Amino acid sequence: MADLLSNPFATRYVRPGAISYRWPPGGVAEFLDRLKAGNWRGEIVGPHGSGKSTLLAALVPALEAAGHRVILFRLGAGARRLPRGAARLAAAGPGTLVIVDGYEQLAGWARWMLRTACRRRQSGLLVTTHRGSGLPRVAETCVEPAVAVDIVRELLGDSGSVEPGEVLPALEASGGNLREALFQLYDLYEARRPPAVTSLEDA
């Protein structure tokens, strides 16, 4: 929850990891069981802003607590290859799980090289993608309206600047992209904030 002088929809409050992931029935244990059944290879599929990165932020500590070494790559827009830090793959081995957030952005040859490297090193591979990549599907993400309302209520705390009934129109206008919906609510919150407490924040 934001302090009284902050916009509760500012980046630092809504970035992956700042908002807790809402696990479905079965929770993280069921997710890990599915990943194990796929020999620690799998994909998380969902559209933009549907919670894939938030899921990973909740999942990595659970994987590390279970004894896995995690090598995580987050790909920026337009990335066609793994970043220079991909040299870390050389240290991968049994018990290591390589995670790529934004896998669909990689060029076909880069995906092939990554899969081959993981197979040769007997490492697991978990990716997030907007469409199926051929790996075992371990989760599909989407934003349920009730979950979106619950998240907004959590962010707002005692502030009543945004009403629950305004959340769903923002979600619909963004095509189900919760991240974009929260950006819209940021602007709405700013428009209603008394001038005396208005502050510049990174949206």
| Per-residue pLDDT tens over the stretch 51-99 | 898 999 999 999 999 899 999 998 877 778 887 656 677 778 888 999 9
What is the arithmetic mean of pLDDT over 193-200? 61
pLDDT at 87: 67
Between 24 and 184, the more confident residue is 184
Which structural domains are found in the chain, ordered by start? 11-20+143-195 (no CATH), 27-140 (3.40.50.300)
pLDDT at 165: 84
pLDDT at 119: 92
Mean pLDDT of the chain: 86
DSSP track, the chain: ---TTS-TTSHHHHSBTTBPP---TTHHHHHHHHHHHTTTEEEEE--TTSSHHHHHHHHHHHHHHTT-EEEEEEPPTT--S--GGGGGGGG--TTEEEEEETGGGS-HHHHHHHHHHHHHTT-EEEEEESS--SSPEEEE----HHHHHHHHHHHHTT--SS-GGGHHHHHHHTTT-HHHHHHHHHHHHHHHS-GGG------
The answer to whether residue 203 scores a pLDDT higher than 50 is no
